[in-house]
């Protein structure tokens, strides 16, 4: 098992204009290494954009590991993963959840691929398939995701793989999606100098505050704060719970 895991996602507010997250990967890893002392035995879980040979080699050189989904940005590798004999692979782990009118089943299968002629991705030890089946208001959808990981099976069991993959999804769902949809980050006009970084920090602070104070719906918490700003100010300055709603408590 790795000594620690991090879900790595660069902040859009730190990405320069006409660029993307790929060049930010190495500087961000250096910051993590500085905090931890080293990256040895650390597992980095990143999104599909970081299915890059350079990223995999960089982590391997630091004795760290990479888990990354493979999508259309790597068409040959995606085809390799999809063509593996998944029907013959037993289910390694399965979870079921219900809540908010939704039922979801996650099924994890894994194959060891560290063999001659294995996957065309550096240091890949296992191929992973995660199938998510969701039923919402009687409508069922099915989504399949393929991933690679540089940890061998004895250090990364299917239940672990499912948990780690979901950690990256949580960042997208709890932070980026909220920033893009609820706080309309993509529509904001701040594009130059330190404007994007400043506004990204403010959005992260607001989201973090609402999460810390028990909000389960950031849109509702934001509307309430805008309608009754004096209560929010009191909560921040006194630390006393002053704002409540059916599913939100502001400290």
Is residue 34 pLDDT above 60, yes or no?
A: yes
pLDDT tier for residue 249 given thresholds of 50, 70 and 90: very low
Instruction: Give pLDDT tens digits for 109-147.
Output: 999 987 666 788 889 999 999 999 999 888 999 999 999
Q: What is the pLDDT of residue 26?
A: 84
**Mean pLDDT, residues 178-205 taken together:** 61
Question: Given a cut of 90, is residue 65 above it in pLDDT?
Answer: yes
pLDDT tens for 153-181 read: 999 999 999 999 887 665 555 555 555 55
Domains of the chain: which residue ranges?
A: 4-182, 185-250
Q: Is the pLDDT of residue 14 over 50?
A: no
SS in 3 state form for the chain? CCCEEEECCCCHHHCCCCCCCHHHHHHHHHHHHHHHCCCCCEEEECCHHHCCHHHHHHHHHCCCEEEEEECCCCHHHHHHHHHCCHHHCCCCEEEEEEECCEEEEEEEEEEECCCCCCCCCCCCCEEEEEEEEEEECCEEEEEEEEEEECCCCCCCCHHHHHHHHHHHHHHHHHHHHHHHHHCCHHHCCCCCCCHHHHHHHHHHHHHHHHHHCCCCCHHHHHHHHHHCHHHHHHHHHHCCCCEECCCCEEC
* Prediction pTM value: 0.66
């Amino acid at each position: 098992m790795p000594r620690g895991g991090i879900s790595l996602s660069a902040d859009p507010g730190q990405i320069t204009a006409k660029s993307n997250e790929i060049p930010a990967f190495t500087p961000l890893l250096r910051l993590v290494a500085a905090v931890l002392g080293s990256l040895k035995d650390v597992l980095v879980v990143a999104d599909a954009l970081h299915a890059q040979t350079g990223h995999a080699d960089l982590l391997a050189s630091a004795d760290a590991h990479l888990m990354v989904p493979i999508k259309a940005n790597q068409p040959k590798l995606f085809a390799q993963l999809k063509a593996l004999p998944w029907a013959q692979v037993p289910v390694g782990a399965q979870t079921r959840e219900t809540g908010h009118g939704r039922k979801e089943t996650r099924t994890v299968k894994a194959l060891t691929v560290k063999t001659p002629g294995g996957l065309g991705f550096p240091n890949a030890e296992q191929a992973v398939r995660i199938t998510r089946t969701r039923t919402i208001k009687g409508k069922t959808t099915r989504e399949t995701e393929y991933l690679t990981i540089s940890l061998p099976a004895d250090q990364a069991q299917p239940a672990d793989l499912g948990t780690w993959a979901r950690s990256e999804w949580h960042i997208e769902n709890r932070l980026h999606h909220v920033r893009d949809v609820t706080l309309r980050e993509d529509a904001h006009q701040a594009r130059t100098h330190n404007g994007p970084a400043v506004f990204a920090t403010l959005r992260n602070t607001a989201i973090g505050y609402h999460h810390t104070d028990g909000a389960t719906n950031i849109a509702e918490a934001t509307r309430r704060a805008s309608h009754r700003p004096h209560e929010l100010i009191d909560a921040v300055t006194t630390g006393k719970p002053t704002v409540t709603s059916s599913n939100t408590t502001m400290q």
